[in-house]
Every structure is written in structure tokens, then in C-alpha cells.
A and B are shown apart, each in its own frame.
Chain A
């Protein structure tokens, strides 16, 4: 029983906010409590708003503080905050991860493969039927998708030394290549400058 009382005392102390006035284990705490929702603090309550709940309002009464807008230390807080959007790539001499940046001259081609929002090439391998069917997909194609299809077919015929089947989805802006040609197509995209 004593432990129960103690835990209740600890909880109410936080609400009342006047720690000095309340001795530990005082059994007459219930009489000192203010009326209203705090009189029965061990019953859980849902407040419509956290900012207006006694968790915050009582703290405000308890501590003296000033609200400062844009202090010089805020820059250090901002450094810790997560990025709002994925940042642009800062140009460097070389990238140790092996990432290759897109080149400017690729924008003059009649077709274009844009990078994803994470600055990666949108070339993926889709494995279905328990690994029996492998389809390479090139997504985010702009411009003349059929011309790009012809170029890919010619390049793959050269590289794989066999005819490679492709499928063009003009509205979905992607091309599917039958077989695992992710690395070959990535090399092709880097050559083109995408």
C-alpha cells in the first residue's frame, strides 16, 4: 500500500509543481490538490492539445524562462535537424563511393533518363517466378523513348552478342529488357552521360 501511495505522490508532485511545499510520503496530499481535472491524477485523461495540458502549463508556472527568437546558438540546432528535402549534389573532383555524376551534354540528346530523387540511375532488376524470370527496367525516360529503345537494342546486341527482347511503355515512361542487363545498361547510361 505504501508503494502505491508513494507512486501517486510522485505523480501529483509533478502536476502541482511546488516540490518544496510537499514533504515526501505525506499522506494528506489529496487535500492539498487543486480541484478540477487534477484532483484524480491517476485516472488517465486525454487532452485535446498537449500544449494546453497541465503537463505544459504547470511547467510554465514552475520555471522562469524567456522566449528568444533566433539566438546565435540556433545554427548548431539546425545542423542536427534532418534535411527538409534531399539536398543537391555538391560537385567534387572524384567521389570515393564510385557514384558518377550526370553530365551536362546528355541534355542535348533527343531522349533523356533522369536521375531519381536520390541521384541514382533508375535502372532496376525485377526478379519474378522464383528467379526464373529476370527483367531489367529503365524508368524515368523523357523524350523519344522509341529512339532510346533502338539504341539500347543495338548496344545490347553488341554487348551480349545476341538479340535481346525489349518492351516499351510510352505512357509509363519505362522500357523493360528481358534478362539481367543492369550492369550493361548502367555502363551505357554512364557513357551517354545520364
Chain B
């Protein structure tokens, strides 16, 4: 019965699909009417087989108001994966744990001061037998099996879970309209108010994570974001699940989006025995 209902629903959903195509056709009509907008058809090394590529607008930071410079295609394996929240959660837990060193510390019976002498003779007093006043049974005694400091919680998440954490989070961000592509990071002024206005105007939420292909961002944007703790710039190799979730909006430059896509597609289509091997501290 339930499967029948679900199938009925699926059939309804399928009948909606042509509408979506019409709407996308409308979008292309708009682009052709405006000459300035460029539509990019991409050539991938691993072209998408069944799922259609995701189309995104290329935006610009040059004005406070949103200007659409063109359309851009994103690979569905990277940007349209199923957002597995369990995998995302495991990534977040991993990122919290691998850098966590617990400094909690308690004293054992050997470390508490005193307690070397037998408090009373073993026999003849009618009292319980005790050998030290710092035994864990005593008030003020040592702690048995307490936390010892310098405990690391380091572990490595399996390689493909890390990869799928990235694809899941990127896909979730794109599906929720929280992923935006910009042509470059050039802004006209170096005042933080400009960025605040821009983020307010485009409804990007207070916090924005900007990801660029290079390590060196243009001067204006670095100066503008310096006093804004909730707008951060990151190179592509620093992209991670935790930061993406922490910021409301993920802002990728065109080259960064392509680079992320290329790296993840490479790992999804290559032999990864080396990466999947057990983590060793001394890897050289």
C-alpha cells in the first residue's frame, strides 16, 4: 500500500519535470536576449552520465546589487550528490576531535601528598583494614581511573568518507541556495561597510566563507574582511565541512569551483589504495 502511494507520488513528480525544463528554457532565453551574459557549456574529463549538470549564476562583487554575468555548469557528482547528513556529521565530529587534546588531570593515590604510613594496625582495633590514608576509598584520597592529561582524541576518518563529506556539504549548500559563484574577488572599496551592505542586500546571512583558488586575495577584500570576524577567506586546499557549515553562505570563485570539482572528480575516478591505507604518523 505504501509503495503504491509512493509510486503515485513519484508519477506526480515525474509529470512536474517538463515544467522545470520549460523554466530552464526560459532562463536560457533571458541569457540570449542579454548579450553580456555568457553561458558556459563545460567539457569534463568524466562527463556526467545520468544526472544533469547543475547550473548556477556567475555573480560579481563589483556592485552591491546582484548582477548576473553568466551561467555556469557544475558537475552533479560533486555538487548534486545526496546530502548524507550522517556523513556530514561524522566529518564534523572528526574535525572537532582530531585536534582535541584533553588536559583534564587528577591525582592518583601515589601523587596525593602523604599516605605512606599505615594509619592503624591491621588487627586488634575492630576497625576496617587500611594501608594508606590516600587510598581511593578515603575522603581526600587519590582518584582511581581518573583522567590523565595529554590525552589525544586524534583519529583519521576513512578517505572516502572525507570525500563524500565534502560532496554532501557542497551539494546541500547548493540545494539550499547557499552556494554562490563569483567571477573574481575584486571589490571597488576596502571599507567593511561595503561588504556588509552587499551581504545584507543579497540576503546572504551574516557569515560568509569566501574560497579562492590562490593563497593571495586582492587587497581590497582582505582589508575589508579584516575587521569582520564573520566573513572569512580561505584557499581551496583549506576547504572543509566544518567551516562550510559554520558559515551561512559559501562563496566560491569560478576557478575555485572548478578546482574543487577537478580534485574531487580525480579522487572519485582513481585508485585510492594509498589514501585508504592506515594512517601512520611517520609517513616518509
Residues of A within 8 A of B (CB): 83-86, 107, 110, 112, 114, 117, 142-144, 146-147, 149-150, 171-173
**Residue from the list B50, B82, B266, B270 in contact with A171, Cβ < 8 A:** B82
Instruction: Judge if B7 is at the interface, Cβ distance under 8 Å.
Output: yes
> In the complex, which residues of chain B have a beta carbon less than 8 angstroms from the beta carbon of A150?
3, 7
B14 and A117 within 8 A (CB) = no
Q: Tell me whether chain B's interface is mostly helix, strand or loop, or mixed.
A: loop
CB distance from B270 to the nearest CB of A (A): 4
B270 adjacent to A86 (CB under 8 Å): yes
Residues of B within 8 A of A143 (CB): 50
B266: chain A residues at CB < 8 Å are 84-85
- Encode contact with A along B1-38: 1 for CB under 8 Å, 0 otherwise: 00100110010001000000000000000000000000
Q: Which residues of A sit under 8 angstroms from B51, Cβ to Cβ?
A: 142
Q: Check B281 for interface membership: any CB of A closer than 8 A.
A: no
Chain A residues with CB below 8 A from B139, complex form: none
What are 23 of the A-B contact pairs (CB < 8 Å)?
A83-B270, A84-B266, A85-B45, A85-B46, A85-B266, A85-B270, A86-B269, A86-B270, A107-B49, A110-B14, A112-B49, A114-B49, A114-B50, A142-B50, A142-B51, A143-B50, A144-B10, A144-B14, A146-B6, A147-B7, A149-B3, A150-B3, A172-B84
Any A CB within 8 A of the CB of B271:
yes
Chain B residues lying within 8 Å of A84, measured Cβ to Cβ, are 266, 270
Whether A173 and B82, one on each chain, are in contact in the complex, defined by CB atoms closer than 8 angstroms, is yes
Within 8 A of A (CB), among B263-279: 266, 268-271
Q: Give the distance in Å from the alpha carbon of A144 to the alpha carbon of B11 in the complex.
A: 9
Complex CA–CA separation, A49 to B268 (angstroms):
31
Interface residues of B in 234-284 (CB under 8 A from A): 266, 268-271
B50: A residues at CB distance < 8 A: 107, 112, 114, 142-143
Residues of chain B within 8 A (CB-CB) of A144 are 10, 14
Interface size class of B (residues with CB under 8 A): 10 to 19
Residue of A at shortest CB range from B270? A85
A84 to B266, CA, bound (A): 8
A147 to B14 CA separation, bound complex (whole angstroms) = 11
- A56 smallest CB distance to B (angstroms): 15
* Cα distance A143–B17 in the bound complex, in angstroms: 12
How far does the alpha carbon of A172 sit from the alpha carbon of B83 in the complex, in Å? 10
* CB <8 Å contact, A86 and B271: yes
A146 and B7 in contact, given A86-B271, A117-B269, A173-B82 (Cβ under 8 angstroms): yes
A171: chain B residues at CB < 8 Å are 82, 84
User: In the complex, which residues of chain A have a beta carbon less than 8 angstroms from the beta carbon of B6?
Assistant: 146
When distances are taken between beta carbons in the complex, the residues of chain B under 8 Å from A173 are: 82
A85 close to B7 (CB less than 8 A): no
Sort A-B residue pairs by CB-CB distance and give the 5 closest, nearest first.
A112-B50, A85-B270, A85-B269, A142-B50, A117-B269
- Chain B residues contacting A107 (CB-CB under 8 Å) are 49-50
Please, how many angstroms separate the alpha-carbon atoms of A159 and B173 in the complex?
44
Establish whether residues B10 and A146, one from each chain, have CB atoms under 8 Å apart when the complex forms: yes
- C-alpha gap A142/B269 in the complex (Å): 18
Q: Given the complex of chains A and B, what is the CA–CA distance between A145 and B82 in angstroms?
A: 13
A51 to B270 CA separation, bound complex (whole angstroms)? 29
How far does the Cβ of B83 sit from chain A's closest Cβ, in whole Å? 9
**B84 nearest in chain A by CB position:** A171
Residues 69 to 106 of chain B near chain A (Cβ within 8 Å): 82, 84
User: Which B residue sits closest to A173, measured CB to CB?
Assistant: B82
Distance between Cα atoms of A149 and B3 in the complex (Å): 10
Assembled-state Cα–Cα distance A188/B269 (Å): 26
* Measured CA separation A84–B271 after assembly (Å): 9
Known A85-B45, A85-B46, A112-B49; 18 more pairs at CB < 8 Å:
A84-B266, A84-B270, A85-B269, A86-B270, A110-B14, A114-B49, A117-B268, A117-B269, A117-B270, A142-B50, A143-B50, A144-B10, A146-B3, A146-B6, A146-B7, A150-B7, A171-B82, A172-B84
Q: Which residues of A contact B268 (CB under 8 A)?
A: 117
Q: Can you list, as one digit per residue, whether each of B31-63 has a CB less than 8 Å from chain A (1) or not (0)?
A: 000000000000001100111000000000000
Q: How far is the CB of A57 from chain B (nearest CB, A)?
A: 19
Docked Cα-Cα span, A94 to B272, in Å, equals: 29
A114 CA to B45 CA, complexed, in Å: 17
- The distance from the CB of A139 to the nearest CB of chain B, in whole angstroms, is 12
Interface centre among A112, A146, A149, A173 (most CB of B within 10 A): A146
- Distance from A180 Cβ to chain B, minimum over Cβ atoms (Å): 24
Alpha-carbon gap, A84 to B272, bound state (A): 11
